[in-house]
Structure 1
Amino acid sequence: MTGEIARCHARLQQLSDGLDHIDATIRLFAPDFVQESILPKVFTPPKSWSKRGEMSRAVLSILRVAKGPLSTREIASMIVQQRGLDADKGILDVMTRRVANVLRDKRSAGLVRSLEETGLWLQWEVVR
């Protein structure tokens, strides 16, 4: 932990030095400019992000009520639909990767299993 803290302090110093250089450059080209008037950007996560455990609960919930095995892409598509997101290719690809991560994690925990590959996507079901 001490090493990680030292790396964080070094990175903070590096960022601070970079900011000082930017401030100096601004002073060269616009001496009257007030640097404090530049507001920091606030990070807002995209709507497709999940809270801790939310994705796992959604995936397992879908698999529990499914009448048969579902592919990773089908599960991702259902989650996109449940959340009311635009079902464009980008969101669907991101959600498919997230669902795949959850499924692999739950498979190693023994909660779900993957069936023989039947095409591009694995088929998944809850272990009963």
Structure 2
Amino acid sequence: MVSKHFHIDRTENSPQIDMDVDNGIMEFVGRSLPHNSEQFYSRVYRGLDEYLQRTRGETTVNMKLDYLDTSSSKHIYNIFSRLNAETAEGRQVRVNWHYECGDEEMAETGKDYESLFRLDFSFIEVEELF
């Protein structure tokens, strides 16, 4: 049987990632600078493909990242690109981009992604991400 929940534990260099099919929620928490980003994100892409096959309604993506290295930024772009393609099929995708107070760089990173995709972005400033 296919899992209804995809999970990767957070480490010092890679984010916790959860995809909950039943509730239509995806969450990325931590920092993303994995030693081998291709290997790490290949698992995420497989989880995302399964998630998209099993859900049809609205999806909420909670991004709570305090750092993205260059290769991770590319993978987040690819994830948003896949989600953006789903909006053409009628899926609503909401992205809650959380960033810590004063972290203008991460706020700007989120705004850069917002400008590239037709996803419903909200920006949420918090005291602490995790």
Q: TM-score, normalised by structure 2?
A: 0.30
Larger Rg: 1
More helix by share: 1
More strand by share: 2
Q: TM-score, normalised by structure 1?
A: 0.31
